[in-house]
Structure 1
């Protein structure tokens, strides 16, 4: 242990200053620097909590490093528990993820950073830029994410020198699309004119690809984006897979997906040729983390696979993610997955976002309830119609006992709905 490498905290500035971490990140990726633990510079209390919980400035333990393939980053992730876990990402895992992403897209290019760089989706924008030999552009988010600032940052990106990419969460995409709607700007013009009204949306349309992840994307939002001429690529993955490893429902090169119990070796569980029953998603590939910091006995990583805790199924040869297994609602003895219900609700033009969950109920054990955010605050969604639509498409048991209209969904992390906060709001 005397010669073990230490884990160094890496304060990550917010907004446009995030690129200041590039030199340290470069050294971590070429093995000449220490393993890094990114923490938010603008949130010192949260940063200290993460650093203390994950043993910053202390040596990496047995199995947490490898002289042949050093650990480059330890990414803090709380999942749904709020307790930090440190995801151990090797140099090879980060490189494999970035390489597979560029192969899926139009090759290496210039990236716009629009998310906090202490999260995996944000720091991978910087990793991809370093490996591509390009200089990333970062958005100034000190005043929040705004379409005009997004457009201004786009104008600072190199033009005519390879493809341009960015990565967003659904909330950011929605705001950029609203920028066009608020000015009646629905055209699919790709001219690159970013002046005047709707500049954020026009900038968005000029990207060669917009990676979208971090949270489930409502189908209506996805259609709206593509109808507006935005080249959206949906992504599925997490810190444990060095970011997204399934793009548009298809595993990236080298990645593998298994549905169901890993003890079930039936070929259909890994097949993309048709449909399958739902089950827990497991992921594998060269972008997989080596485990968790200080959790050597975790069962999440077994035999080269990571058991995600998400439910999914193959549908028309593509991976469909149904939501967290621990979010399953047991109502009247029937299991209800929130994801399909949320998709039905979000299909209605009056619904911008939806979150479905279970609340304690003396009769049903758990009652299915939903929170929806209206597209137009002055035109609340037709609740009775929404309930009828769910009954028709997802069954009686899945029909929400109550649908509450909220001005916005509480969020946590990089754009994920805060289900506990929503549950408390609906239980009050």
Structure 2
């Protein structure tokens, strides 16, 4: 039921309720009141503001008076100060600030503290030292009509902030599309075996060169830092077959390297042994020839002596030969024609026992001649033993 509907007493003795506190019905003595007047509200507010800024109480001047103008001037000064101080900004060491005045490019500011008129100039900060990265990948068709999945990572940085922001609509997206286009062009001119095995470096270099040409033609304000070949693999449907082929190729290369290593190990040794045998044969030949030449010269020198005294020279040669022969043997020759019992001392055995008992004297034993090895002693003759001793001890003629 509405507040002013007739008959709505609500315990107020038949009076209708007014939301503004007015009772138009049943209050004969009160005057009619309506909603508050907006003009009156604004007038009161103006009087209060005028009183705070130099007005004279509640009946002071209105907002259009001198006190109100002074208040508005103070407010304007404060607003200008706030606007001025809000215009200061800082550009980082690795950044450059691109200034737009009323939406139009104006200049590029360097790092440090700068000022701009706020709401007039707008500054966009661009990091020109950070290395950015984007990845291009997808299924691509090779020259031999095979499909391969390629992944390429491109690292770049901003070289010109103005061109980066305003020459193209979106420099990062344009670079991504240019990378995909360059990569597909290079893969389309390459064979799949080369892509999967040994041709990755060439593909990376070709992609970087093609991408630099595209960037220069677009003039995007971007510099390529590096291009990395991330992955290259065949489709999943034929991956097992390609893995087997790659494993077989790797085994072939491994066997070739092992064979080459074995060859490099054997050939130098065989060449060294052959050279050693050649040198030994050459040395032996020279030694034999020189020995024979020396013997010939020696006999040529002995010939006059032999012609002068043949018997003496012959005996001397015989004795020297026997000395050389019996120097290296343990046999002892005893003359059977000599009279008496002959005993000999086994000097070689005694020397061996002496060397084994006294080690410090081991290196002092000298090789003696056949004359030193034979020790003859004459014993008293006996009728029975002398003849037998002489017969049994005959071993040769000295």
TM over 0.5: no
Per residue, is there more strand in 1 or in 2? 1
Q: Please identify which structure carries the higher helix content.
A: 2
TM range (shorter): under 0.3
- Alignment TM-score, normalising by the size of structure 1: 0.15
Task: Work out which structure has the larger RCO, using CA pairs closer than 8 Å and 6 or more positions apart in sequence.
Answer: 1
Q: Which has the larger radius of gyration?
A: 2
